[in-house]
Chains A and B, each alone.
Chain A
Amino acid sequence: MPFYDELYKFQDKLQHVLTRHEQGATHAAQGYARVSGRVGVCVATSGPGATNLVTGIADAMIDSTPMVCITGQVPSHLLGSDAFQETDIIGISTPVTKWNYQVTDVAEIPEIMAKAFYIARSGRPGPVLVDITKDAQFASFDFEYTPCNGVRSYKPIPKVNTASIDAAAALIATAKKPLIVWGQGIILGKAEAEFKRFVEKSNIPAAWTILGVSAIATDHPKNVGMVGMHGNYGPNKLTNECDVLIAIGMRFDDRVTGDLASYAKQAKVIHLEIDPAEINKNVTADVAVLGDVKETLPLLAEKVSPKPYTDWFAEFKKHEAIEYEKVIKNDLHPTKEGLTMGEVLKEINRASNDDAVIVSDVGQHQMIACRYARFSNSKSNVTSGGLGTMGFALPAAIGAKMGAPEREVVAIIGDGGFQMTIQELGTIFQTQAAVKVVVLNNDFLGMVRQWQQLFFDKRYASTEMVNPDFVKIAEGYFIDAKRVTKREDLSSAVDEMVASDKPYFLEVCVEKEDNVFPMIPSGASVSDIRLS
């Protein structure tokens, strides 16, 4: 209450967005942070308000999103007394925050807030929670603000060891079939230009993780596609054929590597990384290049010379042709009656000139969105990667629109995830954030259903959804809404949506039992990627 009473005085200077649920606030803060590169902020009251933040904080932690959460707390003299709406949010949030702190004295506030933002954004970014007791909020003191430039015990960026650069360059010089796999570290390190220069100078094929995509444009000639469980055929297969694997700002997540025991065993691994704890965590690095990629990539680029790698690039082309024939063609240019998720993405690409911010939720539509969305600019793919948080996309899209108001923001959501944070339609209505919301409705928790089909003999246990009329719900919030069930209506509906300068809701009823391929079955090797 005292916090908000003060905010009231700053309405013209500070835009406050009232989400309908605290989880929505965290994802909105994440969406804002991911498109803007700035720290997202969310505020919640004590007790249930604070506990409702936890999912978003955990999501921000695993996806390294800079965020500061401010929570209210009972007066300090009541701490530990089971007071009304008291919860140990410091204890609860400890494993999912980069740092957290409980303020009990008003005089600490300037220093702690400066420190919170510094920690959230520096080094490998992450969420920070500051819990402020009510008495500290009510008290007053002589305000003096000093920015935070460092914390004694915290080394955000490791010092670059030039010997590691030399070793990496020497290894690259011996390579006949090198492969770059880049992750979000490029974007978080604001090193897109440095990365592009390195890729172009070295002429090495480069593949991306779903959090790394958009660091260079989709149509960049060296971009060979997505790695991981539903990634492209070529980069996955060829991970087990490359001789030098150059991992840049990525953490070898299990959804990327599949079975570690059979992941790139033939390759020498170079790992460029800001977080020392990531080195040798999942994949052993032959050469670890610690440091900020913005600093290390130019040093490495200077020491590499391009080779044509003609046969090697041809391998990617060959695999791409196979994938196109078996998967992509049917996804993007289907001949069967039912609509595919892929063709919806194709229409969105067309209508937005390959330059929308795509915010996806979790599941089949997410994999389709990451596979087929085309990007021209960085910070354009916002998705819940590590935590796989259904319900992420709707609120994240609101934050994304506020972080990049000049850009087209399209949320791609499944019918399952949509209903997990559907109340944020109210936030869209109230703020009039011109978010375009596309629900790809297959009346199933589609990804789970796909696994049930492939690995559990089609026993669809609790995955079929009996859904409400989504268009009516959107209209109930006074949001322009349309439903598409036929192919001939899709293109014009997407055009209408993109042309709108207001919030817009589009439901596309897609084929109920489509599957996402390629697929590396859980626990299998990247070599065992299936096309059907």
Chain B
Amino acid sequence: MEKKYTISIYTENSVGLLNRVSAIFQRRHINIISITSSASEIEDVSRFVIVVNLTEEAVKKVVGQIEKQIEVIKAFYHTDEETIFQESALYKVASKSLFEERHIQNIIKNSHANIVTVNTEFFVIEKTGFRHETEQLYKDLAPYGLLQFVRSGRISVTKSPMNIKALLTELNDKNKSDE
């Protein structure tokens, strides 16, 4: 049965690795629902967070192929229940509606969204949360005219520890002893 899995990948920070990782999905005709890449808790180590719909058997195989890449330090997969995850969305709305449509102020307040910037032309609202929350705000704001909307990929941390630091220390020591 297909299910939503979050794949977390710790990697060296190198040019072309995103291509190498995404090629693994493309080759197997797997659609990536979202992908983000950022710094991790360790200096010079990047972290990819990729969301896919797959069977557990398939996600296991994909993670195996990802781990095989030279510059991948470690890859994991988790279910939603095993992670804490969020997405961010930005909504650009014409400024006149903020002043002319009183209801819009209540929407912003009730959704716990933040106003990032306001000028005479437009204002930008930021909302971080679960998908259904950013979608609800989209639905609520749409009638007032969204000039632009964008949503980030999922970012997530796991409930269980990752211990990448310990793994890296071990790998560094091993390489030293080999020399």
> Which residues of A are interface residues toward B (Cβ below 8 A)?
90-91, 94-95, 98-100, 102, 119, 149-155, 275-277, 279-281
Q: Are B65 and A153 in contact (CB under 8 A)?
A: no
Chain B residues positioned under 8 Å from A152 (CB to CB): 12, 73, 168, 171-172, 175
Q: Are A90 and B64 in contact (CB under 8 A)?
A: no
Q: Are B171 and A95 in contact (CB under 8 A)?
A: no
Is there a chain A Cβ closer than 8 Å to B134's Cβ? Answer: no
The answer to whether residues A95 and B23 also contact, given A90-B16, A149-B178, A277-B67 and a CB cut-off of 8 A, is yes
Bitwise interface map of B from 165 to 179 toward A, beta carbon under 8 Å scored 1, else 0 = 000100110110011
Q: Are B168 and A281 in contact (CB under 8 A)?
A: no
The answer to whether residues A277 and B61 also contact, given A149-B179, A153-B70 and a CB cut-off of 8 A, is yes
Closest CB in chain A relative to B62 CB, distance in Å: 10
Closest CB in chain A relative to B39 CB, distance in Å: 16
Is there a chain A Cβ closer than 8 Å to B27's Cβ? Answer: yes
Chain A residues positioned under 8 Å from B112 (CB to CB): none
> Which residues of B are interface residues toward A (Cβ below 8 A)?
11-12, 15-16, 19-20, 23, 27, 60-61, 64-65, 67-68, 70-73, 168, 171-172, 174-175, 178-179
Q: Are B23 and A277 in contact (CB under 8 A)?
A: no
Bound form: Cα–Cα A94–B61 in Å: 19
Name A102's contact: one of B15, B68, B73 (CB within 8 Å). B15
Q: Are A153 and B12 in contact (CB under 8 A)?
A: yes
Bound form: Cα–Cα A90–B179 in Å: 30
Q: Are A277 and B171 in contact (CB under 8 A)?
A: no
Bound form: Cα–Cα A35–B171 in Å: 33
Q: Are A277 and B65 in contact (CB under 8 A)?
A: yes
Most chain-B CB neighbours within 10 Å: which of A100, A152, A280? A152
Apart from A152-B175, A155-B171, A277-B64, 9 more pairs, CB < 8 Å? A100-B16, A150-B174, A150-B179, A151-B70, A152-B171, A153-B11, A154-B70, A276-B64, A276-B68
Chain A interface secondary structure, helix, strand, loop or mixed? loop
Closest CB in chain B relative to A428 CB, distance in Å: 36
In the complex formed, the residue of A with least CB distance to B71 is A153
Q: Are B70 and A98 in contact (CB under 8 A)?
A: yes
Closest CB in chain B relative to A279 CB, distance in Å: 8
Identify 23 residue pairs between A and B in the complex whose beta-carbon atoms are under 8 Å apart, listed by A's number. A90-B16, A94-B19, A94-B20, A95-B23, A95-B27, A102-B16, A119-B70, A150-B174, A150-B179, A151-B70, A152-B73, A152-B168, A152-B171, A152-B172, A153-B12, A153-B70, A153-B171, A154-B71, A275-B68, A277-B64, A277-B67, A277-B68, A279-B64
Q: Are B73 and A153 in contact (CB under 8 A)?
A: yes
Closest CB in chain B relative to A252 CB, distance in Å: 13
Chain A residues positioned under 8 Å from B70 (CB to CB): 98-99, 119, 151, 153-154
Chain B residues positioned under 8 Å from A281 (CB to CB): 61, 64
Bound form: Cα–Cα A38–B16 in Å: 28
In the complex formed, the residue of B with least CB distance to A275 is B68
Closest CB in chain B relative to A118 CB, distance in Å: 10
Name A150's contact: one of B16, B19, B64, B175 (CB within 8 Å). B175
Chain A residues positioned under 8 Å from B172 (CB to CB): 152
